[in-house]
Structure 1
Amino acid sequence: MIEKKDIVLEKVVLVGIITQDQDQEMSKEYLDELEFLTYTAGGCVVKRFTQKMNMPNAKTFIGSGKMNEVMQYVKDNEVGTVIFDDELSPAQERNISKILNCKILDRTNLILDIFAQRAQTSYARTQVELAQCEYLLPRLKGMWTHLERQKGGIGMRGPGETEIETDRRIVRDKIALLKAKIKTIDKQMAVQRGNRGKMVRVALVGYTNVGKSTLMNVISKSEVFAENKLFATLDTTVRKVVIGNLPFLVSDTVGFIRKLPTQLVESFKSTLDEVREADLLLHVVDISHSNFEEHIESVNQILDEIKSKDKPTIMVFNKIDAHKPEPIEDALEVSKANYTIDDWRNTWMSKIGDNALFISALNKENLTEFRKRVYKEVREIHVTRFPYNHFLYPDVEDVN
């Protein structure tokens, strides 16, 4: 354990692989993200291990030589937790646990743990519990290793397997109960959404930790919890916003992430319904992040999965105050790392036109332009819905 300002952090080792589909640079990026996830969960990363492989080892994820290296480090440094960057199969998890003799987690398990910590409302806790149970079910066998001596032989048949089956039945029953509970709450939330009438709905979407909640606070003048950690927001927050005397609803949704566990996408279905039923999406992007283009792709992939990719969307490139391009050392070797904000404007972003906005929600930079653009889009949707009310709302030029 490592103590930091009265907080005890678990010592953690990270393990990832480099493959044809995931080169060294991408592997480093994923491990950087995994380290941030670990910090968010309350851990301190003391070492990273990577190995080049064509594909993960079916039994132990990494090769035996690298596994011995990890085992020696864990033993010498009294590390209690090893986290793997990809989802481990139940068999891999069991095999690795026997070798390393410490707590083994994968990216999915880690994200589920963070969600469990962050869930505030009864609904969010129910959603997380469902995802955890679905993740746990195929892995129950590994939790009964203390009964392995009862595998077979005279007088040794049954008890271990019976206990596992009993637990499986309990978990299956729990999953059924949680699904029924979520179904009931889904109906209630659908009624709530219906009761909002025909007001235009705007949803903030984007990768985790891009500043959605900070932007929500600025435009709605409210206090939505915001923190520089992954998944600070789990519960959807809906606020009424008025620009140029035109009222509309803005919802702040859970952030997306690469390799988002399928269990979470399914269990947070109702939260994502806020996105499905939105009239306009504000896709918030952290332009100061070196791999923000990959983040955009990940978010678009999830939007596609929930059939929301074709909705009217404004790209909001946030954190321009934190964007610091690397100095150009060789004029012949200019890369995206050297791009200024103006350079980025002239790339593929120029094709988006006025649907690309550059702001700093934290420092409130370019928010007048942002408010006008959002107002223009919301007004068009509103006037289509209520054609006789167009005279009530000023033109965008008159909006402050």
Structure 2
Amino acid sequence: MATKCGMGLGFLNVGRATHGWLGYAERRGFIVSMRKAFLGRDTCGAQVTTSGMRSRVVCSWEDTSAFVGVRRVRNQIVQLNRTNRNGRPSTVMIPENDKFDQNTHMEGLSCPSCPAELFEVIRQEALQDSKDEPALASFMYSTILSHKTLGAAIAFLLGNKLASPALLDTQIMMLFLQIFDTHEEVTRQMAADIVAVYDRDPACEKYSTPLLNFKGFQAIQAYRVTHCLWNQNRKALALALQSRISEVFHVDIHPAAKIGSGLLLDHATGVVIGETAVVGNNVSILHHVTLGGTGAEGKDRHPKIGDGALIGAGSTILGNIRIGNGVKIGAGSVVLTPIPDYETAVGVPARILKTKKLAQEPSINMDHTSFMSEIWDDYMI
């Protein structure tokens, strides 16, 4: 467990990420900027220097009352049980009420029941990561630990990633927060997406990983905001964000497309989902998948994907056709005709395999190749 620092000299670096959040929070009326609290003050013999976007405060950790900015954000300075490469104690800011038992068994939380419960688990994971990797402490604090809700954390993260000369980070954060506050179903969908990634992707060992590191999850959450804007007839803003999402994440989803909850967008690069496409619940889609249209007329021209479908990497599905519930589309297939429920389709053009129907939704077990042993006994690579 982390303990409060004793006497000694330490450094508190306020980098770009932390400062950006503090400035944003000040506009929200929550706190004042730590930079303003530090700079120009001569407290506890502190030596204050600044260079560009980074400030350094040197003082005795024992007199933490001098850290007005820290007090205003209700933090305490804690010392970790490790040292950095220079042999100095590693330090990180952790909210007063955050407690984490290093012996907590996390494996029993396969499906937190609500966004609030899920975000509490994510906070605990971030807290532990801050202890294990002090270099990421500022990032973990500004992205997760400083926020009270899942929506606020995602709004901050995406605001920083999608910022551009056209839309500043604070504008995007405020926009996303407004959508999350007025559309509770979006927050529930976000939580379901996190659980889907954790449950189906063996490379995902923590609930915090999709939020922090997986661009497929991040792109989907940004799309959900553009979809709300589109439905509010704010189409210019929705399209501007769509363009930026495509530029940043290499995922192109039209704001008018309809996508259910529990989506796993694995790897995500090159995914294209068209304007009139519909994707059901608990679907898994891999990279370089296209749900494209046919014809130039502005009519219903894109695929409709049923619940629990698995669409393999590099697949292309064209036209207003229905891909049924629990369907498996083999990697690299080109699908031009409807596929009934719980069937497997592969090839160019795709054909339905004459095997028994799938017993469960393939999007859950993520099995891409089991059909091969049933039709090609002598298959070799």
TM (norm. structure 1) is 0.29
- Give the structure, 1 or 2, with the largest relative contact order (CA under 8 Å, sep 6 or more): 1
TM (norm. structure 2) is 0.30
Structure number with higher helix proportion = 1
